[in-house]
Amino acid sequence: LEMTEQLTLYTAKICPYAHRVELALEEAGVDYTRFEIDLENKPEWYAPEVNPASKVPAIAYGGPKVAPDHPSPDSTKIAESLVLVEFVADLSGKLRPADPVLRAKGRFLIDAFSNTFAPAFGATIIRGEPVEPLLAAIEKVQGLLSPEGYALGPEFTFADAAIVPFFARLEVLLKGDYGAYEEGTGAKAYETLQSDPKFARYRKYLADVRARDSFQKTFHEEYVREKFATRHANARAARKAAQGSH
């Protein structure tokens, strides 16, 4: 697809929100310039010149062709991952089924995902709360997937781009037992996800998405695993130090 305007994506390999937009751009076949933001050491120009919220993802669209680290004031800056996924769909005319009912099912699925999986993910991984609500959230989202194929049926759509980056990262976290929970909790939950017949649809769905070029090009599993491992080791050391000080 030939775009009339330049499009620069500010992103970070670690971030599932940014990954949504990379998947959307790859699947839509949109030409774009990718710029990695180091989230632990953001360039000083990023917040004032690209995204005042200082988060990824963000897109600079239109304006002159410039180096990504010298963004032009003449491009339009857009932020928020779901806004950007819809933007890529609007730009390209791809990623969304033609049927308004299917589009509504996709948006409802994303809303349910945001309201169930996303908070449960943070609760379990970051705060070490029980893993059961997280597994229940996966079951709930799984129940909203089309019985076969991708989230809305045979075609990959915006709904897949919105949810898969989180599933993929969760598997890395649980498999490595990286999280604020008691040791062994993540590894056990990972085993459940891989073997319990209850999660058969989830497994097939994720395997189908993993097989796609767009996913392989945009998910840097070993990089993500190492980052999570380092964060986990640091967080555990900090918790031990805090306990020792009592």
The residue among 141 and 173 lying less far from a second copy, judged by its C-beta, is 141
From residue 123, give the alpha-carbon distance in Å to each of 42, 202, 240. Answer: 26, 21, 20
Binding to a second copy by CB under 8 A, coded x per residue (else -) over 30-69, reads -------------------------------xx-------
Residues 6+ apart with CB under 8 A from 20: 57, 81, 82, 84, 85, 161, 162, 165
Written as one letter, the residue type at 225 is R
What H or E segment, with its residue span, contains residue 22? helix 16-28
* Closer CB to a second copy, 55 or 227, in the complex: 55
Residue 241 CB, shortest distance to a second copy, in Å, is 34
Closer Cβ to a second copy, 104 or 200, answer by number: 104
If the CB atoms of residues 18 and 224 are measured against a second copy, the closer one turns out to be: 18
Per-residue b or e along 202-224, where b marks 16 or more CB atoms closer than 10 Å to that residue's CB: beebbebbeebebbeebbeeeeb
Instruction: Check residue 11 and give left, alpha or beta (phi > 0: left; psi -120 to 50: alpha).
Output: beta
Q: Least CB distance from residue 167 to a second copy, whole Å?
A: 21
Question: 104 vs 136, which CB is nearer to a second copy?
Answer: 104
* Site membership for a second copy, residue 180 (CB under 8 A): no
Q: Which of residues 69-128 bind a second copy (CB under 8 A)?
A: 76, 78-80, 82-84, 86-87, 90-91, 100-101, 103-105, 107-108, 111
| Residue among 61 and 121 whose Cβ is closer to a second copy | 61
**Rg for the chain (alpha carbons), in Å?**
19
- Residue 106 CB, shortest distance to a second copy, in Å, is 9
| Whether 169 contacts 224, CB under 8 Å | yes
Residue with tokens 């459940």: 192
The C-alpha atoms of residue 94 and residue 10 are separated, in whole angstroms, by 21
Give least dist CB 93 to a second copy, A.
10
Nearest residue to 190 via CA among 202, 172, 206 = 172
Q: How far is the CB of 173 from a second copy (least distance, A)?
A: 26
- For a second copy, the binding residues (CB under 8 A) are 61-62, 76, 78-80, 82-84, 86-87, 90-91, 100-101, 103-105, 107-108, 111
